[in-house]
């Protein structure tokens, strides 16, 4: 195994992003930090580095364990990093709050009509 790997390849190989282009865009957009500093796509990642990855609304705090040689199956990818307990708890809490917010949303059957669209708009305005 190589000692270091470009951060965009590492994110792609460890299955955080479906394509290497998406991984490169995330890194370029400032959604990935390595050891507390904003990374560039060619930034090398080595075992012992700490990554903070923001994907959609979720934040992953990762400790790099290994550098993969290919984009293999998910269990092989998960063996290359360890997520912190605080990160897991924060993601689960955010997921639960998103689900709870969905439950307060007005229910619709199929495509919303004019009346239901107004209710949805009012509901979104009240949430802020």
- pLDDT, average across residues 10-39: 96
pTM: 0.79
The pLDDT assigned to 2 comes to 62
The secondary structure of 86-117 as a DSSP string is HHHHHHHHHHHHHHHHHHHSPP-SSS--HHHH
Using one digit for the tens of pLDDT, what is the confidence trace for 111-127?
888 888 888 888 888 87
Domain extents for the chain? 5-127
Pick the CATH number of 5-127 from 3.10.290.10, 2.40.10.480, 1.10.540.10, 3.90.870.40: 3.10.290.10
pLDDT digits (tens, 9 = 90+) for 74-104: 999 999 999 999 999 999 999 999 898 888 8
CA angle, 127 as apex, 126 and 128 as ends, to 5°?
A: 90
């Amino acid at each position: 195994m190589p000692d270091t790997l470009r951060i965009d390849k590492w994110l792609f190989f460890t299955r955080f992003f479906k394509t290497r282009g998406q991984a490169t865009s995330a890194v370029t957009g400032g959604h990935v930090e390595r050891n507390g500093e904003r990374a560039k796509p060619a930034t090398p990642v080595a075992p012992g580095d700490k990554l903070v990855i923001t994907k959609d609304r979720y934040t992953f705090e990762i400790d790099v364990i290994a550098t993969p040689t290919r984009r293999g199956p998910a269990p092989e990818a998960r063996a290359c990093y360890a997520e912190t307990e605080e990160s897991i708890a924060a993601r689960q809490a955010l997921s639960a709050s998103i689900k709870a917010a969905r439950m307060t949303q007005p229910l619709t059957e199929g495509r919303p009509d004019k009346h239901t669209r107004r209710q949805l708009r009012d509901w979104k305005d009240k949430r802020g």
